[in-house]
Chain A
Amino acid sequence: MNNNKGLEIPDFSQSPIVDKVGVEERVERFQKRSIKNESKMQGLRMALSMIDLTTLEGKDTPGKVRQMCYKAQHLHDIHPNLPTVAAVCVYPSMVKIAKQEVKGSGVKVASVSTAFPSGQAPMKVKITDTKFAVDQGADEIDMVISRGRFLTGDYNFVFDEIASIKDICGNARLKVILETGELVTLDNVRRASDIAMYAGADFIKTSTGKIQPAATMQVTYTMLEAIRDYMNTTGRQVGMKPAGGISNSKLALHNLVMVNETLGSKWLTNEWFRFGASSLANDVLMQIMKAETGVYQSSDYFAID
């Protein structure tokens, strides 16, 4: 269902210009917040509950997906009362298996689609790809935009593509991956964010995880500002998912601080904010166990994901 019907579409070539130096300085300040003890624990648990545990490899097997789904629900059983992660993120061919495995746990299944990660396929293929994932039971669809088209200035094409994918998502929430590492400038990131949101995205997401750089704080901040402006103009809340490169707790906490100070606490739930990561979960778990036991931890004692 497209909740943007009847909305006035702005001229995307007029999207706001981003002050790069300003963004860098602002982001630096988020990294200097002192977060201690109880708030840190609270933040770490929140970060855990926001993770989309991800496996997107050519070598993925049903066994690997099952293992990851188990991990998603049993992060570290020694420690009671830990949250589960928000979702598992897999390729369309693995959605069915993932869906069975997480049944009843509240963990959602997200599927990448539209010829992930490059998006270099005809529209027909992308629609079939998405339809398949939705039919298999995916709760969330992570689509990629056509970066090539975007860079040549064909914004209408990108807009229409997102809108048509949104139309076939049904009840599945649509995350739009901008692949910011290929968009080069923050101005482009801002413009792509605007296009995605006006075309109906429920979430905007930085990266596929296949291209470096991925979710830098500068990029995430630019997208958060776009979300804020969109909310002020249209009144519709859009979620944010930085993905790729957020591998330790400190970075995750900095991101949470940034979300809170840019968008407010309304976004501090896994309904509106996610981390796309695989190695982050264990690092957060190790930090939590360190805080509980007072002893620095070793990855030897945590399940691989």
Chain B
Amino acid sequence: MERVEVLKTYKIYIGGKFPRTESGRYYTPTNAKGDALGNICLCSRKDVRNSVVAARKAQGGWAGRAAFNRGQVMYRIAEMLEGRKAQFIEELIFQGATKIKAEQEVNTAIDRLIYYAGWCDKYTQVLGSVNPVASSHFNFSVHEPTGVVGIIADESTSLIGLVSMIAPVIAGGNTCVVIASESLPLSAITFAEVLGTSDVPGGVINILTGASEEMAKPLSTHMDVNALAYSGNDEAVLKELQEYAVMNLKRVRSYTKDWMNSDSQDLYMISDYQEVKTTWHPIENIGGANSTY
């Protein structure tokens, strides 16, 4: 008798676990040929709420880790991704990419993680500063994570857009709630499985699938979300996000980058989700001629 292939259930990723959406709903996106990609969770505002709770809970611990250790964890994500490359390529092809493009996308995603993993214990040195002041103070500015970041990932790519947005956010000690591409959701969930096996504490990254239009509002109005990241060029959506964000003065950042391009990654993607803390430390005039230091 011929063996019946076991199909994978694509679930969402909240607090390190893989639940189904609390709403019990699903949708069935198709590729260009009309094949169903799968029954994908159509998440609701309550999934957004649960994700934000998980992200908030994880934030202190993640930010409190040694920067070096955050780098190690991110490097581990890249390692895991490398090991499951074939699966990602297969899924990307199924979702409509050519073999060459699919391979390129996965490789770029891995490299991007490595890039930001390297920045983890270096960005504060580069971005921070010792400031000249007129009084007898040692004055320095350091960067600290904003907190919980809501990410609306690129709609036109399945993997690279998502990874390119998540990596700089978590490198800087933030946690995030990500709305994956609605039409190309498979790689987002498989990426969540990578995260589940790569030492990332539960709740640091939460990934939801479904209608971005439906989830954008509860996410962008949520008082416990500190910043929003939007990838796309829909001015109307951006305007709406900015209006919703006003209530608790969330920072809104938007990108229209080609994420496959190597100059779409930079240090300022990290500083976009950082707050600058300046400390005035009373001290003798260290720069002066009579300093005892």
Contacts and interface: CB of A to CB of B under 8 A. Distances in A.
B248 interface: yes
Contacts of A298: 222-224, 248
A164 interface: no
Interface in B199-229: 218, 221-224
A299 B224 contact: yes
B184 interface: no
**Which 10 residue pairs of A and B lie closest in terms of their CB atoms, listed nearest first?**
A298-B224, A298-B223, A296-B222, A295-B221, A297-B223, A296-B49, A295-B223, A296-B223, A296-B218, A301-B223
Interface string B246-261: 0110000000000000
B144 to A, nearest CB: 16
Interface residues of A, number: 8
Contacts of A261: none
Interface in B4-53: 48-49, 52
A300 interface: yes
Contacts of A300: 223-224
Interface string A284-301: 000000000011111111
Contacts, number: 23
B224 A297 contact: yes
Contacts of A301: 223
Nearest to B247: A295
Interface of A: 294-301
Contacts of A296: 48-49, 52, 218, 221-224
Nearest to B48: A296
The listed residue with most A CB atoms (<10 A of its CB), out of B223, B224, B247, B248, is: B223
A298 B249 CA distance: 13
B272 to A, nearest CB: 21
B208 to A, nearest CB: 14
Contacts of B49: 296
Interface in B34-80: 48-49, 52
Contacts of A299: 224
Nearest to A297: B223
A249 to B, nearest CB: 13
The listed residue with most A CB atoms (<10 A of its CB), out of B49, B247, B248, is: B248
Contacts of B248: 298
23 contacts: A294-B221, A295-B221, A295-B222, A295-B223, A295-B247, A296-B48, A296-B49, A296-B52, A296-B218, A296-B221, A296-B222, A296-B223, A296-B224, A297-B223, A297-B224, A298-B222, A298-B223, A298-B224, A298-B248, A299-B224, A300-B223, A300-B224, A301-B223
Contacts of B223: 295-298, 300-301
Nearest to A301: B223
Contacts of B221: 294-296
A96 to B, nearest CB: 37
Contacts of A295: 221-223, 247
Contacts of B52: 296
Contacts of B247: 295
A294 B48 CA distance: 14
Nearest to B222: A296
Nearest to A286: B223
The listed residue with most B CB atoms (<10 A of its CB), out of A294, A296, A297, A300, is: A296
Nearest to A299: B224
